[in-house]
């Protein structure tokens, strides 16, 4: 099929590369000339495991452009995958979506084009985009569109860091439209994924147990709501275990064991039951806020989702409280933060807990040293005003530090030579913000080990 993808960010680029891998011809449009130049040169503007190799493999079926006239006319499907960041009132900013839809409408030509909202957009956006397309089409072409397009929703569930895997081997594909022909086009577009008929890329083997992928083919509003319902549920699962972690600390229980014992119940499942500094990233915060904002328009409260949001925010201040408990005075202390990305295997810094934690500690007069194996350069570009010391050398984070906090559970930190760095610290305190390190190993080495809950574990030699 001839496909056009508007927006070459984390979602748009992943979608494009995977659809090209399935054999479709894909034109990627972005207004950001720097991104398009980078992509044309064969590089990716984002960090995502294996995307470079796959991009190279399917380059012949991919076109990168800033010009809508190259990609939209004659396309069977146009995906809109632009950003929908959060506004002050919690609802998403739809200006990028509007601009993209208007540009698409101007260039629609040929038979039916299915215009797909892949961006996460509030319930009702399908109708809204339909109206924008109609108006812009009429304005530009001087007549009403006649079967030129139909709008569909195809929410995206990929996890950054596993984006290609999640796209090629998804748990399900959800499509929604009030137009049956567009649902048929989308089922056909995804046929290779739905029946897993493609040869897997060598770097991304197919999971052994995976058979056919379920398709949820539904109406527009239902598809739009699935995305919010799913993200809110995942977010509250994380907040739930963090709330349990607090009581585990108070009663002297081991939250890791509690999480394991709870998650092994097949009705609950163990994923997203990892206690720590909480969620971040471009989706959970924004999407839960949007769900609450949409509900408010219908005079509905969402107390469960709101509570999940509160607990998540509290986890960030809890890092500071825990350091205060241990160090008593924060002013003048040097605190090292390991990890800036909101989770491992991505360079995405949107709503990253590390930024809030660094800001809170700086406000209290701490000196902050920051490290991230991948997101450091992006951090320098996006946070030029944060008065912290960014370093590419992990030893700088430990040197003369009063505490080191693991904020992102990058595998590099798990496998660190922790004994090598201990002697250079002023105070050998480690706050494991992700419950990802071995308390036994660290205390054996001489560290004082702390999590967000429960008492600190002193070094073995002093115990
Ligand atoms: N990142 C994720 O993990 C993820 C997962 C699921 C859903 N989503 C949703 O997908 C959407 C996209 O997210 P993302 O992380 O890929 O965003 P992003 O910011 O990485 O990418 C958006 C891209 O769209 C481009 N763009 C903006 N306006 C444009 C226009 N008018 N024409 C052409 N290009 C334009 C931007 O330059 C940018 O490159 C959001 O709604 C997000 O909530 C994201």
Q: What are the tens digits of pLDDT across the range 344-400?
A: 999 999 999 999 999 999 999 999 999 999 999 999 999 999 999 999 999 999 999
Give me the catalytic one of 4, 18, 283, 427. 283
313-334 pLDDT, tens digit per residue, is 999 999 999 999 999 999 999 9
Neighbouring-strand partners of residue 335: 368, 403
User: Within 6 Å (CB) of ligand 1, which residues are found?
Assistant: 6-12, 29-32, 35, 81-84, 96, 99-100, 103, 119-120, 156, 158, 160, 282-283
For the four alpha carbons of 162, 167, 169 and 175, in that order, the dihedral sign comes to positive
Q: How far is the CA of 96 from the centre of ligand 1 (A)?
A: 9
- In terms of Cβ atoms closer than 10 Å to its own Cβ (0-12, 13-18, 19+), residue 455 is exposed
Query: How far away, in angstroms, is 119 Cα from ligand 1 center?
Result: 7
- Measured CA to CA, the distance from residue 366 to residue 338 in angstroms comes to 16
Residue 267 burial by Cβ neighbours in a 10 Å radius (0-12, 13-18, 19+): exposed
CA distance linking residue 408 with residue 342, whole number of Å:
7
Closest ligand 1 atom to residue 84 Cα is: 41
pLDDT digits (tens, 9 = 90+) for 127-160: 999 999 999 999 999 999 989 999 999 999 999 9
Q: How far is the CA of 158 from the centre of ligand 1 (A)?
A: 13
pLDDT at 290 over 60: yes
Is the pLDDT assigned to residue 263 strictly greater than 80?
yes
Dihedral pair phi/psi, residue 186, rounded to 5°: -70, -40
| 4 is an active site residue | no
- Residue 217 DSSP code: E
**How far is residue 186's CA from residue 231's CA, in Å, rounded to a whole number?**
23
Q: For position 463, what pLDDT does the model report? A: 45
Q: Which residue has the tokens 């956006």?
A: 125
Q: Is residue 218 over pLDDT 90? A: yes
Mean pLDDT of the chain: 96
Point out the ligand 1 atom lying closest to the alpha carbon of residue 32.
37
Q: Which residues pair with 80 in a beta bridge?
A: 6, 117
Structure tokens at 143: 């007549």
User: Look-up: residue for tokens 């809170």?
Assistant: 360
Phi, psi dihedral angles at 179 (to 5 degrees): -120, 110
Which residue of 46, 83, 96, 171 sits with most ligand 1 atoms within 8 Å of its CB, as the best mutation to test the pocket?
83
Distance from Cα 453 to the centre of ligand 1, integer Å: 36
Tokens of 226: 């699935």
The span from the CA of 197 to the CA of 21, in Å, is: 12
Atom of ligand 1 nearest to the CA of 66: 33
Q: Which helix (H) or strand (E) holds 27?
A: strand 25-29
The C-alpha atoms of residue 191 and residue 193 are separated, in whole angstroms, by 5
Q: What are phi and psi of 442, to 5 degrees?
A: -70, -40
Mind listing the pLDDT tens digit for each residue in 9-43? 999 999 999 999 999 999 999 999 999 999 999 99
- The alpha carbon of 271 and the centre of ligand 1 are apart by a number of angstroms equal to 26
Global pTM reads: 0.93
């Amino acid at each position: 099929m001839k496909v056009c993808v508007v927006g070459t960010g984390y979602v748009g680029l992943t979608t494009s590369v995977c659809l090209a891998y399935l054999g479709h011809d894909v034109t990627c449009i972005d207004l950001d000339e720097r991104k398009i130049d980078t992509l044309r040169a064969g590089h990716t503007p984002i960090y995502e495991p294996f995307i470079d190799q796959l991009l190279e493999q399917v380059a012949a079926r991919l076109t990168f452009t800033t010009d809508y006239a190259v990609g939209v006319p004659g396309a069977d499907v146009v995906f809109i995958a632009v950003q929908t960041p959060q506004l002050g009132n919690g609802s998403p900013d739809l200006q990028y979506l509007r601009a993209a839809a208007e540009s698409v409408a101007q260039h629609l030509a040929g038979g039916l084009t299915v215009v797909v909202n892949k961006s996460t957009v509030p319930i009702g956006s399908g109708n809204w985009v339909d109206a924008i397309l109609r108006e812009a089409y009429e304005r530009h072409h001087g007549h009403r569109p006649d079967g030129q397009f139909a709008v569909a929703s195809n929410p995206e569930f990929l996890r950054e860091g596993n984006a290609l895997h999640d796209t090629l081997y998804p748990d399900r594909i959800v499509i929604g439209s009030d137009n049956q022909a567009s649902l048929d086009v989308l089922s056909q577009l995804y046929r290779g994924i739905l029946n897993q008929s493609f040869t897997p890329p060598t770097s991304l083997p197919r999971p052994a147990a995976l058979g056919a992928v379920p398709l949820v083919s539904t109406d527009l509003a239902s598809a739009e709501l699935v995305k919010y319902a799913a993200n809110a549920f995942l977010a509250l699962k994380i907040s739930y275990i963090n709330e349990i972690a607090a009581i585990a600390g108070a009663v002297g229980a081991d939250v890791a064991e509690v999480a394991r014992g709870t998650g092994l119940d097949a009705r609950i499942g163990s994923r997203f039951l990892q206690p720590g500094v909480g969620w971040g990233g471009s989706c959970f915060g924004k999407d839960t806020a949007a769900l609450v904002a949409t509900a408010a328009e219908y005079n509905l409260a969402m107390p469960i989702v709101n509570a999940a949001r509160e607990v998540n925010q509290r986890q960030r201040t809890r890092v500071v409280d825990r350091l205060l408990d241990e160090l008593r005075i924060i002013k003048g202390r040097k605190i090292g933060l390991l990890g800036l990305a909101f989770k491992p295997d991505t360079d995405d810094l949107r709503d990253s807990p590390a930024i809030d934690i660094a800001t809170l500690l700086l406000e209290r007069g701490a000196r902050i040293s920051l490290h991230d194996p991948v997101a450091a350069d992006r951090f320098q570009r996006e946070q030029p005003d944060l008065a912290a010391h960014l370093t590419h050398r992990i030893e700088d984070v430990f040197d003369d530090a009063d505490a080191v906090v693991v904020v992102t559970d990058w595998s590099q930190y798990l496998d660190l030579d922790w004994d090598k760095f201990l002697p250079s610290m002023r105070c050998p305190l480690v706050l494991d913000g992700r419950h990802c390190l071995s308390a036994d190993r660290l205390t054996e080495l001489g560290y004082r080990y702390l999590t967000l809950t429960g008492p600190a574990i002193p070094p073995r030699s002093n115990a």
